[in-house]
Structure 1
Amino acid sequence: MKRVAFLVMASQQKIQGLAVFMALIMMASSGLGSRVSGQIVQGLVVELGTDRPIQLATVSLIATTGDTVASALTDENGFYSVMPEDEGTFMLVVRALGHRGKREGPFEIEAQGVRIVRINLDKAPVNIEGITVGVDPADFRLHSTGFYERLENEKGYFLTPEDIFRSTAFFTQELFRGGLDGRTYVNPTEVPWNAAVRFRALMGGTCTPRVYVDGVFQYLDERYSLDAAIPMDRIAAVEVYRGPFEQPPPRYHTTGGCGAILFWTRDGQ
């Protein structure tokens, strides 16, 4: 009776979400998932703080090769289900209009395995290309840091807020895979969310640039990748300086003349 009273007092949205989530757990634990040939990842996408189901969120399963092996849209209950053909290591990437994107993983999926992953997305302003309502705080910060002034000087390579908005990259490293006019190199054999971004040296070979996020130097290694330091959903703009003929502002030091990458975030944190 106490449980019934509790459910009656709960909101309808939370009841629906809880019902779907409990159904998923029962499926996994009872072995009903074995009816599906292969592996399966399923769960709910809800709004952080309200538990409101998010409909039409895009859920993508990314392999270590960087390929999207499965994707799905959430239904009216926020439910999704994706099925990779093979077992392995994967990253789950979720995007929804009006919310900040999120990634879960990496995690292993075994043959005939069922994994349940609940995703909580935080609200975010909706950016509509070509339409500006009021003053964008991120744009104001870019002006105050001198980004647009340096952009006009054309000494370096710049990714503007419009470039970031149009990008389909899941991971920050993917912004640099195209080479940026021959400046950058990302090893295609490395796991996409852990890959290192290097500069092509003018005299041949590659070197490792220094990375700054909102003016703060980031020490990156195999345990703290570029994507961990500055995920795609936080990026407002990027400046790329491949020394020695492209030098960042004086306060940003370089190593061996290799150059630097400056990231500016949407929230300035």
Structure 2
Amino acid sequence: MRGSIALLVVLSAVASAQTAELTLLVRDGLTSRPVSGATLTVAGLSGTADDFGRAELLGVEPGPLRVVARGPGYAVLDTTLQIPAESHVVAVLPLAPEVEHLGEVTVEAETVNDALLRRRGFFARRQQRTGVFVTREELDQRGASQVADVFGGVAGVRVQHDAAGTSLVSSRRRGCLMAMYVDGTEMTYLARNLDAFPYDDIAAVEVYRGPAEVPLEYTQTKSQETCGAVLIWTRIVASDR
């Protein structure tokens, strides 16, 4: 890269060797701050700028002089200076900060609720392909608006409405209530009153339609052993405040 070099030439009173003196000042091309430790190559010889971004050269032959400056985080500056005889030349070398060009990056961010479901084992159990698994996104796509809607179309279970409330029973065993869990804790009252649970709080649901499907950690009571179990997982809803 070729930069715009500032030159200050001061004629010297010393004419014995017909040579010149050269002071190089390496600067950040945007801020003009010194670039300390910059590597300089002048006429095939290498040196390093001091803490002030400065390097001094004596006995420089007059004429065109190739100068290459390098600094960490900067593009290489390769330029040619015209050095008069019997002079002291001060050259400011501006280095352009390098811009990192990134290729196309695809970022898949896991939501807070997905992270919670992962810790709760939802996705691991789903991979085992036993039971029925429904996420919030799938429920919204169905147009569900209440808890009873979650189980519509799920084979092996039936929503039952009676004077006692709305319950979920096994269609394989007549009138057999499904065991209900919320965030891993059994909620026996929900078995006969599904409407008591707020639909908007649901993050995901697992439905196990018989004892053969129920995970071992949820087989401690008679309900799971005979009718199956439902696991409801709640979600975190962002506040507008």
- Scaled to the shorter chain, the TM-score interval is 0.3 to 0.5
| Normalised TM-score (structure 2) | 0.47
Greater share of helix: 1
Greater share of strand: 2
| Normalised TM-score (structure 1) | 0.43
